[in-house]
């Protein structure tokens, strides 16, 4: 399959709503499921997917509850709820075992799936995830609450975060159009419910890593503004998951977009080993 071809959107109905996903269908080794972060869409991997497919991997990307082409209104938007969607998608596609990749909010999701259904998961990769994050003091908890409120009531703040914080170095050529699309999507009818659900979902759960036994990879942008000390958080994840670590120098919160080649170079050897 030509790695530059964008697969057609497919849909899966599950209890509570409809999930949108795409599937390159062809590839060697274990299939790879890519999950975007909070308030994002599966197009977050638009620059990484061609590199993985060109290397011979079957790649599946899924829109989260509330965003992209998935249904907007659900009763639960948490990483744990999204974990049930991942398993439903694997069942739907007849995939017995897959590698799961989660960015940011869905790092917790792939950890949850790996702990709850170890027979279905060949390995997990966390990209700038909040799992095993440093404990927050009262000031940081207050800042997080304020930022969450701003996201719910001011979509423009999400654009500000991307333009001024999330990409400290490289930006993809389609950066402005992509960010404009994210902000516009947040203004669509009913989306505030989904935004509130994501903001209130626990992306930093305690104890979930204990149940994980599969191989794990931690990928972290060295300049991620979401963490005062990105490498310290990465090291905590490595210790909890007995994982290997790859720091992407100069990258922010989305290395799969600002440095897709380095991200692919981290993922592909890992995928080859777990195959």
pTM recorded for the entire structure: 0.95
List phi, psi (to 5°) of 233: -65, -45
CA 80 to chain centre: 13
DSSP 3-state of 185: helix
Give the model confidence (pLDDT) of 65-74 as tens digits. Answer: 999 999 999 9
What average pLDDT score do residues 18-34 get? 96
Could you tell me what percent of the chain has a pLDDT over 70? 94
Please check the confidence at residue 183 and state whether its pLDDT lies above 60: yes
Task: Count other Cβ atoms within 10 Å, centred on residue 135.
Answer: 8
Instruction: Provide the pLDDT for residue 141.
Output: 59
CA distance 151 to 71: 20
Which of 42, 4, 6 lies closest to 21 in space, CA to CA?
42
Please check the confidence at residue 1 and state whether its pLDDT lies above 50: no
What average pLDDT score do residues 21-26 get? 96
């Amino acid at each position: 399959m030509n790695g530059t071809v964008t697969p057609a959107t497919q849909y899966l109905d599950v209890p509570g709503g409809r999930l949108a996903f795409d599937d390159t269908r062809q590839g060697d080794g274990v299939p790879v499921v890519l999950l975007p972060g909070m308030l994002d869409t599966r197009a977050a991997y638009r620059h990484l997917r061609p590199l993985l497919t060109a290397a011979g991997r079957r790649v599946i990307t899924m829109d989260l509850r509330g965003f992209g082409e998935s249904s907007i209104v659900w009763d639960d938007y948490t990483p744990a709820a999204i974990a049930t969607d991942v398993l439903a998608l694997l069942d739907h596609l007849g995939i017995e075992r897959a590698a799961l990749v989660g960015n940011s909010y869905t790092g917790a999701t792939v950890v949850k799936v790996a702990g709850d259904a170890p027979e279905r998961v060949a390995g997990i990769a966390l990209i700038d995830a909040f799992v095993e994050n440093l404990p927050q003091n009262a000031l940081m908890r207050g800042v997080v609450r304020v930022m969450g409120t701003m996201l719910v009531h001011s979509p423009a703040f999400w654009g500000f975060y991307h333009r001024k914080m999330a990409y400290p170095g490289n930006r993809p050529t389609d950066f402005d159009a992509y960010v404009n699309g994210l902000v516009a999507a947040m203004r669509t009818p009913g989306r505030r419910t989904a935004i509130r659900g994501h903001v209130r979902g626990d992306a930093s759960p305690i104890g979930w890593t204990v149940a994980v036994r599969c191989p794990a990879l931690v990928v972290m942008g060295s300049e991620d503004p979401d963490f005062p000390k990105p490498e310290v958080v990465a090291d905590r994840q490595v210790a909890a998951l007995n994982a290997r670590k790859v720091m992407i120098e100069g990258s922010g919160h989305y290395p799969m977009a600002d440095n897709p080649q380095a991200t692919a170079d981290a993922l592909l050897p890992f995928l080859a080993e777990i195959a």
